[in-house]
Structure formats: C-alpha cells, structure tokens
Amino acid sequence: MRKLSYLKNVATLTVDEARCTGCGACLEVCPHEVLRMNGRRVQIQDKDACMECGACSRNCPAGAISVQVGVGCAAAVINGMLGRSGAGCCCSIDPDNPSSQGPRCC
C-alpha cells in the first residue's frame, strides 16, 4: 500500500517523551504508523501522515500525546463519508446536500 501523507507541516501532534511510559497503546491504534518506539519511549516517525483522529492521545494512559482532533479536517472528512452531522473542525457537512462526499470547508 502507498504511504499516505496529508498536508505538510500542519498536524498538531506532539509527544512528551518524558511522560511516555512506553506502553505502546498509541502504536496499536494509529492507523498510519505515525509513531514508533525509540528505545523505551514513543516518538513521532511521520508527522505528515497524521490525520489527527486523536486515537493515540485518547488511548495514552500517561497523557504523553497531544493532538487537536480534527484540525486537519480528517474528522470532517470521515464524518461526511459516514453521513454524520457535526464535522469536528472548521468545516461542516453541507446541510443542503446530505449525501455529499465530504465537508464544505470555510
């Protein structure tokens, strides 16, 4: 499979390596292998592949990972494709076209 990349240098993902316990929970839930183990700690491997879904930060028991969910509009795209209302970033689903394939961005 081709490696996915989103917008360059815009993801809000950060890792506080000092707080990381090395449990690996974030590695298990990241759909794009954005993170990797560096010895006993997690570090960012490919920040541009981050779709800002927030799975890593929600599953980090140490609170070592921070990401503003949906800032990159990944949440809006996913919600739009699933037909959900409420996008999760600066975008919103087009209420005039509920079958639209994605968000209408501002």
Tens of pLDDT, residues 2-22: 566 666 778 899 999 999 999
Summarize pLDDT for 71-80 with one digit per residue, the tens.
555 556 666 6
β-bridge partners, 14: 66
pTM summary value: 0.64
Look up residue 48 and give its DSSP letter: G
Does residue 25 contact residue 60 with C-beta atoms inside 8 Å?
Answer: yes
Q: Which domain holds residue 87?
A: 74-104
Q: Are residues 51 and 87 in the same domain?
A: no
Low-confidence ranges of the chain (pLDDT < 50): 1, 87-106
41 and 83 housed in the same domain: no
Residues 17/41, Cβ–Cβ less than 8 Å: yes
Does residue 5 fall inside a structural domain?
no
